[in-house]
Amino acid sequence: MAIQRPKGTQDLLPGTVEQWQYLEETIRRVCRDYGYEEIRTPIFEATELFQRGVGQTTDIVKKEMYTFLDKGDRSMTLRPEGTASVCRAYVEDKLYGQSQPVKLYYTGPMFRYERPQSGRFRQFHQFGVEVLGADQPIVDAEVICLVWDLYQRLGLRGLEVHLNSVGCPTCRAAHREQLQRFLTTRKSELCQDCQERYERNPLRILDCKNPNCQAVTEGAPTTLDTLCDDCRSHFEKVLSLLSGAGVAYRVDPRLVRGLDYYTKTAFEVMVEEIGAQSAICGGGRYDGLVEEIGGPATPGIGFAMGLERVLAALQVQGKFPDTKPKLFAMLIALGDKAQNEGFAIMNALRGKGVPVRMDLLGRSLKAQLKAADREGAELALILGEEELERQVLLLRDLNSGEQTEVPLSKVIEVIYMKHQRGV
């Protein structure tokens, strides 16, 4: 039996890859405009980084990591996300010694052992941004605006930014206590997972998809109810900056992110049309993470978006420009000698940046003309034995059908000039 690719992974074939490239190029342009620089970290890291960074009680660490022992018996994990790695690099490569804040972005594959379904993969790709070393609310607003601007440039419609503040360790402790008190008499009605969460991480109960748990938590205190003065004024400032920038947001007091490192601002961007996995982007502030993994106390904020989901939204909304590479000329050489001469001409033209192709299958004149048409060539350059003898080449304009002869000695110059002029 033929070997198949692993469940939850994809082959990206020509046709689709051009859409990925278009998305990646737009991302790079936006990042450049906003002054974010690219960072590339390893695909695998010491398992402990994610245990400490993402959090021991999260689904990612408990159930979804691709973890293995390497040949030196060290536990390694294929990265399930990018934030922990960027913070590790910030500490290890001493980026805290540079002028602050450090504004970074990354794109690349991430790995989570999840149940594959539409929009959910085991190998998926994220574009993410992290800003380290700045605690002001204007930074939160800037990264959300960057996401918003990217989606505007891509032409995406029907987006909503969901925003919450999950507070700092001080107000979180107060919330935890209030939430536990609220749930204490109805604990047994919660699902098994939430009963465990009750002790270890009760906040996540608010995010459970189980209808029973949702019924039990109706009217439960949210983190917004218990924000301290600092967290509240931070959140209000973020909201007023976003309103001024024209971002369509909705405060969602029940928004709880699936990773443990968040403090203060947390957000997700939803788009309806792509089905159940409607979150195309998620992020927030993480003011304790760098310290958690052994670095100096440093505030941070960022987001990551699932590129498969962004592409699905662009496909549903028909937002891709025509990205098929344009062929300018098809060089049709008939006979052995003409092929040698034609090959040299094609390479000289390619050297000058003119997209020219030749037949690679030994096909007939008719078949080659058909191929030129199919590939959208502007010109056919025809070189047979007889033309070669006369040292000319037939130049056929495939739009008008008009045909002229060009001396071989002039052919590079003439075609190059036509390409420059676009005809």
> What is the number of the residue whose Cβ is closest to ligand HAM?
306
Selected binder of ligand HAM within 133, 202, 283, 299 (CB under 6 A): 283
Selected binder of ligand HAM within 53, 55, 82, 342 (CB under 6 A): 82
Compute CA distances 194 → 39, 153, 218, whole Å.
Answer: 37, 41, 15
The size of the interface with ligand HAM (CB under 6 A), counted in residues, is 27
> Closest separation between CB of residue 60 and ligand HAM, Å?
7
| For ligand HAM, the closer CB: 124 or 328 | 124
Selected binder of ligand HAM within 305, 332, 381, 395 (CB under 6 A): 305
> Is 274 within 8 Å of 312 (Cβ atoms)?
yes
The CA distance from 18 to 28, in Å, is: 15
| For ligand HAM, the closer CB: 175 or 309 | 309
Q: Is 202 in the site for ligand HAM (CB under 6 A)?
A: no
| For ligand HAM, the closer CB: 121 or 249 | 121
> Closest separation between CB of residue 94 and ligand HAM, Å?
21
| For ligand HAM, the closer CB: 90 or 121 | 121
> Closest separation between CB of residue 122 and ligand HAM, Å?
7
Selected binder of ligand HAM within 28, 120, 162, 232 (CB under 6 A): 120
The CA distance from 265 to 252, in Å, is: 11
| For ligand HAM, the closer CB: 125 or 419 | 125
Please, what is the angle between helix 137-154 and helix 17-34, to 10°?
A: 140
Q: Which residue has the tokens 């958690």?
A: 292
Q: Is 309 in the site for ligand HAM (CB under 6 A)?
A: yes
| For ligand HAM, the closer CB: 279 or 369 | 279
Element (H, E) at 357: strand 356-358
Do the strands 102-111 and 37-38 form a parallel or antiparallel pair, or are they unpaired?
parallel
Rg for the chain, CA atoms, rounded = 29
Q: Is 302 in the site for ligand HAM (CB under 6 A)?
A: yes
Contacts (Cβ under 8 Å, ≥6 apart) of 185: none
| For ligand HAM, the closer CB: 204 or 309 | 309
Residues in region 127-186 near ligand HAM by CB under 6 A = 128, 130
Burial of 394 (0-12, 13-18, 19+ CB in 10 A): middle
> Closest separation between CB of residue 354 and ligand HAM, Å?
40
| Cis previous bond, 101, omega within 30 | yes
Reduced DSSP (H G I as helix, E B as strand, rest coil) percent helix, strand, coil of the chain, to 5: 45, 20, 35
> Closest separation between CB of residue 126 and ligand HAM, Å?
5
Selected binder of ligand HAM within 282, 295, 299, 342 (CB under 6 A): 282
Selected binder of ligand HAM within 106, 121, 235, 249 (CB under 6 A): 121
Structure tokens at 199: 């002790």
| For ligand HAM, the closer CB: 164 or 368 | 164
> Is 227 within 8 Å of 171 (Cβ atoms)?
yes
Q: Is 224 in the site for ligand HAM (CB under 6 A)?
A: no
Selected binder of ligand HAM within 124, 148, 151, 249 (CB under 6 A): 124
Using the contact rule CB under 6 A, the part of the chain among 11-19, 33-41, 301-309, 335-343 near ligand HAM is 301-309
Q: Is 304 in the site for ligand HAM (CB under 6 A)?
A: yes
Structure tokens at 348: 């000289």
> Closest separation between CB of residue 34 and ligand HAM, Å?
15
Selected binder of ligand HAM within 205, 281, 332, 334 (CB under 6 A): 281
**Over the range 107-127, which residues count as b (16 or more CB within 10 Å of their CB) and which as e?**
beebbbbbeeeebbbbbbbbb
Element (H, E) at 69: strand 66-69
The CA distance from 25 to 127, in Å, is: 12
| For ligand HAM, the closer CB: 282 or 342 | 282
Residues in region 12-31 near ligand HAM by CB under 6 A = none
> Is 22 within 8 Å of 323 (Cβ atoms)?
yes
Contacts (Cβ under 8 Å, ≥6 apart) of 194: 204, 205, 208, 210, 213
**Which letter does DSSP use for residue 273 in this model?**
G
**Which letter does DSSP use for residue 325 in this model?**
P
> Is 385 within 8 Å of 338 (Cβ atoms)?
yes
Using the contact rule CB under 6 A, the part of the chain among 41-49, 116-124, 170-178, 331-339 near ligand HAM is 116-124
What is the contact surface with ligand HAM in residues (CB under 6 A)?
A: 81-83, 112, 114, 120-121, 124, 126, 128, 130, 258-259, 279-284, 286, 302-306, 308-309
